[in-house]
A and B are shown apart, each in its own frame.
Chain A
């Protein structure tokens, strides 16, 4: 849920970055978004730990207020900032192929492709180097702290990765649907396996099936690409959940060997 909150909360950062740099250059956007993302995380923790606000409510309060500030900024600077609320909500993946990166006069392909590619590589590198620290802090913070692992630093780096992913994906799929991409494959995988390693691989597989299947479906039905991908991911989750419920019911009734118990 914190990922969802951050994807909304970064809006004022993006707006300010647009306004200051007068460009859609990803690096500025990321800096703005990362700053506000970290601020939002700190604010949420402050509300929760120091002021004893319910954790749900501290997330909700923070991201809505920041998002509202972002919307007002965008409206205020609407003459100079080429960004609107709808783009934030659903993204513009259909326009991605037209926004190409020109390098020395050569067409290098869509910018978003490059950005996402670099993102993917950095996430893989981050995982390779940080796997153990992340694993420890995700499963047992106290134990990790006892072992001398910098829990705060790991959480902060994970949050920054989430912000980075959000910012890069957000122009393509929008702030809400990026949440589907972050949550749904992992949740589906978690229904089936328990080991972190297999969960990572399986969730990547589900994400691939969901996005390829969703994209194909959207071409056939002529519907919104991002929306269809999110729906496909949701349907995938539902399918696995139902399948699992049916199977476990059968096991309960008949036992593992198929005999009625």
Chain B
């Protein structure tokens, strides 16, 4: 394999995954955009370091970035704590003015014609393709420091993220933990920015964490998953940009990350859009089914067992969409809860049982509302209409026990039980 390509892949993968690890914590703290602000705010420190030092040594620039990033971080915290400004205003304010100051300093460098601005440029636009062997070593060392830091402070970070007061109460050095986390964040941004540039740095912190969150609830799994997503994006992004001429690596990494992120949010089980949508649809058709069964059972109560109902008759009793009724009846036929005759539908024994169950729940709940909560009998129907679809067999048993196996509901209708 091409050694230059390999170097870039190793470098970007290290950067992206270590940023993802730190980003996971800031995502869970709800402070994702602080990373974005730090990325912009590094600039003045980097440029000052460039002006004071000889500009060639990347360690100098990293040091400058670190100092500048820390100042920005504490500046944001100060504004958030001491003024009534909203926290995102504080973030934007520090971000844009620090960056502006950086640009101002940068124009001084250009004036002086100090040359070799490549070192500076990479902090703005990111130069993934220009990664040297020295960079790979530097990044590896920093990634190692980051991972070690997270490993050492894992318990502390976890507590700080989820419950800072509790961390305080059990005597953890919260101040130290917070400073460590800040330093690690600034470090991650400082090295990450050199691959993707100032604007896109936020993606390396936020997107993998958001994507991972869609798949899992556990923190360790989330960290690993976020790192894996980032590594995949780094490799694919580098591949694409090397396959097409002139293509920048950083933006491609971010696009792949975004693709993974949005897809995860779309298809992931439990939290994903598709899953939620499916569950909502299932729920709706269950309610629809139960309503039709209830209606047919009540008609049998009035007109006797085996009473036939046509679709227009059902619609005249309960207002529902034609389409919903059609789909519902088809579904019920398939479940063998109803039988279609030429002149209407009748309930099967199975269907009768289901209809009886829904009617029983409805009436039990109405009784509970009047007996135990003292509500007026003319106010309880709408609540029961909702609850009849929600009450589980366990709650049903408790209700029957609580009300002492009652015979009639508040409207004097019989409560139908199964043994009759």
Q: Please judge, given known A-B contacts A54-B32, A68-B251, A78-B246, whether A241 and B79 are in contact too, CB under 8 Å.
A: yes
Report if B100 contacts A (CB, 8 A): yes
Tell me the complex Cα distance, A179–B348, Å.
68
CA distance A154 to B100 in the complex (A): 31
- Smallest CB separation, A50 vs chain B (Å): 7
Knowing A68-B200, A224-B107, A245-B82 are in contact, say whether A56-B33 is a contact too (CB < 8 A). Answer: yes
**Nearest 3 A/B pairs, CB to CB:** A230-B100, A234-B97, A65-B258
A64 to B252, CA, bound (A): 11
Chain A residues with Cβ below 8 Å from B265 are: 47, 51, 53
A69 neighbours in B (Cβ, 8 Å): 251, 255
* Chain A nearest CB, measured from B271 CB (Å): 7
Residues in chain B within 8 A of chain A (CB atoms): 27, 30-33, 36, 40, 79, 82-85, 88-93, 95-108, 111, 124-125, 197-200, 202-203, 205-207, 209-210, 213-214, 246-248, 250-252, 254-255, 257-258, 261-262, 265, 271-273, 276
A231 and B104 within 8 A (CB): yes
B95: A residues at CB distance < 8 A:
4, 176, 179
**Is A156 located at the chain interface by the 8 A CB criterion?**
no
A184:B202 contact, CB within 8 angstroms: no
Say whether B199 contacts A67, CB under 8 Å.
yes
| B75 (CB) vs chain A CBs: closest residue | A238
Are B202 and A60 closer than 8 Å at their CB atoms? yes
Cross-chain contact B96 with A61 (CB below 8 angstroms): no
Chain A residues whose CB sits within 8 angstroms of the CB of B89 once the complex forms: 1, 183, 186-187
Interface SS of chain A: helix
Known: A61-B206, A177-B96, A230-B97. A191 touches B103 (CB 8 A): no
A133 contacts B by Cβ under 8 Å: no
Given contact pairs A60-B32, A65-B254, A8 touches B199 in the complex (Cβ within 8 A): yes
Q: Contacts A61-B207, A68-B254 known; A50 to B273 CB distance under 8 Å?
A: yes
Known: A65-B254, A68-B251, A86-B125. A51 touches B101 (CB 8 A): no
Interface-central residue, B36, B89, B108, B199, by most chain A CB under 10 Å:
B199
Q: Complex formed: what's the CA distance from A228 to B100 in Å?
A: 7
Q: How many angstroms between the C-alpha atoms of A226 and B107 in the bound complex?
A: 10
Does B248 lie within 8 Å of A64, measured CB to CB? no
The docked-state distance in angstroms from the alpha carbon of A209 to that of B248 is: 40
Q: Which A34-58 residues have C-beta < 8 A from chain B?
A: 47, 50-58
Q: Which residues of B sit under 8 angstroms from A85, Cβ to Cβ?
A: 125, 197
Apart from A183-B93, A231-B100: 6 A-B pairs, beta carbons within 8 A: A51-B273, A64-B199, A64-B254, A180-B97, A224-B104, A234-B96
